[in-house]
Amino acid sequence: MKKLLFMLIPLLLLCGCQKQEQTQTAYFFDTVVSITLPQDADPTLFDEAWALCTTYQQAFDRFSENSELARLLPEIPAVVSAETAQILTEATRLSEATDGAFDIRLGDLSDLWNQQTLPDADTIQKALEVAQATTLTIEGNFVTQRGAGSLDLGGIAKGYVTDRLAELFREAGCASAILNLGGNVYCLGNKKGEPFKVGIDTLMNQPNPPVLGLSDQAAVTAGVTQRYKMINGVRYHHIIDPKTGMPAKTDLLSATIIADSATLADVLSTACIVLGQKKAEELLKQFPDVSAVLVLENGTVTTVRDPLFVNTVQK
């Protein structure tokens, strides 16, 4: 049995790094984080941004004994930070909105599928039952977990942190900024009056891949070719169907969501992969300010509520 683990960053910033800009890069949340600010921005803003990333990484990392998630003990109310309460509240709200396609209770299942060997059906079923029996009650900064499911914020944390960083720069009076947290992209403001350009990797080696124009917007891609392993010729990717506990069987290779909120875009992109094209299109009807680019298994690229393209896109 051969295991290969691949990771692709599917959104490509096309703005290039110019003399009028300053960029710093660091490694957080298991991925590369890059921040570009105007040349005249106060460089200590980078330090503030990395400090925020450090705080959030510590708070949200389910593998760390010191994380805030680790404080949530079954049945006992735990005091968490305002941000942890907020991300858990958002995750719970969006889980309902996606009819359960987005579900932060699947940590144990992700771990099972991350092992070298495939989990057996019984083990999957047991982990799924534990996950489904887990509930969260959030009252202010008090969070009570009932049930022993392992909470996993991997499908929302990068989007949430992107929004907090954008807020930091906006409040500091930055006219523009580009944030890229492993493909969770947010463009604050614009580039000399024009939207920033962000290309989408359609995975089809297209000569002219679609290029989005973004201003004060996020674009987040989830896909089955981002993180996966091949075992005996079968692709096992990292997005779990909460109904089956298995990597989602879907007709989508990737879903890119464009929205004002990176948190929302992060969650919806993951949920769309679980749901597949038809149900994803249904889901997105609930979110009139959101647009999407879906890449189907057969290579077709379709859009929902046409995003702004700054090139022509083949549909």
Is residue 110 close enough to count as binding ligand AMP by CB under 6 A?
yes
Q: Which does 56 bind (CB under 5 to 8 A by kind): Mg ion, ligand AMP, none?
A: none
What is the closest distance, in whole angstroms, from the C-beta atom of residue 120 to ligand AMP in the complex? 20
Nearest of 123, 87, 89, 130 to residue 106 by alpha carbon = 130
Q: Which does 274 bind (CB under 5 to 8 A by kind): Mg ion, ligand AMP, none?
A: ligand AMP
d(CA 64, CA 179): 25
- The piece of 62-70, 167-175, 239-247, 264-272 that touches Mg ion (CB under 5 A) is 264-272
d(CA 120, CA 105): 20
Nearest of 178, 212, 208, 175 to residue 197 by alpha carbon = 212
Give backbone dihedrals phi and psi of 165, rounded to 5 degrees, phi first: -70, -40
Is residue 242 close enough to count as binding ligand AMP by CB under 6 A?
yes
Residues 167-206 that bind ligand AMP (CB under 6 A): none
Total residues in contact with ligand AMP, by rule CB under 6 A? 17
- The piece of 16-24, 34-42, 104-112, 296-304 that touches ligand AMP (CB under 6 A) is 104-112
Half-sphere exposure of 66 (CA within 13 A, CB side): 5
Strand (E) or helix (H) holding 122: helix 121-132
Count each helix (H run) and each strand (E run) in the chain, helices first: 6, 19
Interface with ligand AMP (CB under 6 A), residue from 21, 61, 68, 103: 103
What is the closest distance, in whole angstroms, from the C-beta atom of residue 47 to ligand AMP in the complex? 27
Interface with Mg ion (CB under 5 A), residue from 163, 254, 266, 290: 266
Instruction: Give 182 or 189: the residue with its C-beta nearer to Mg ion.
Output: 182
Coil, strand or helix: which one is 191? Answer: strand
Residues 189-248 that bind Mg ion (CB under 5 A): 222
Interface with ligand AMP (CB under 6 A), residue from 72, 104, 188, 304: 104
Coil, strand or helix: which one is 142? Answer: strand
Nearest of 137, 58, 42, 149 to residue 105 by alpha carbon = 149
Is residue 154 close enough to count as binding ligand AMP by CB under 6 A?
yes
Is residue 67 close enough to count as binding Mg ion by CB under 5 A?
no
Q: Which does 217 bind (CB under 5 to 8 A by kind): Mg ion, ligand AMP, none?
A: none
What is the number of other CB atoms lying within 10 angstroms of the CB of residue 137?
Answer: 11
Is residue 266 close enough to count as binding ligand AMP by CB under 6 A?
yes
Is residue 240 close enough to count as binding ligand AMP by CB under 6 A?
yes
Is residue 157 close enough to count as binding ligand AMP by CB under 6 A?
no
Question: Which residues lie closer than 8 Å to 136 by C-beta, 6 or more apart?
Answer: 72, 88, 92, 143, 144, 145, 146, 151
- The piece of 69-77, 166-174, 196-204, 262-270 that touches ligand AMP (CB under 6 A) is 262-270
Q: Which does 211 bind (CB under 5 to 8 A by kind): Mg ion, ligand AMP, none?
A: none
Distances (CA, A) of 193 to 175, 176, 189, 213, 214: 11, 11, 9, 12, 11
String marking each residue 270-299 x if it binds Mg ion according to CB under 5 A: x-----------------------------
| Axis-axis angle for helices 82-97, 44-60 (nearest 10) | 70
Residues 139-158 that bind Mg ion (CB under 5 A): 155
| Axis-axis angle for helices 82-97, 262-284 (nearest 10) | 10
For residue 6, what are the β-bridge partners?
228
Q: How many residues does the chain have?
A: 315
What is the binding site for ligand AMP (CB under 6 A)? Answer: 102-104, 106, 110, 152, 154-155, 222, 238-240, 242, 266, 269-270, 274
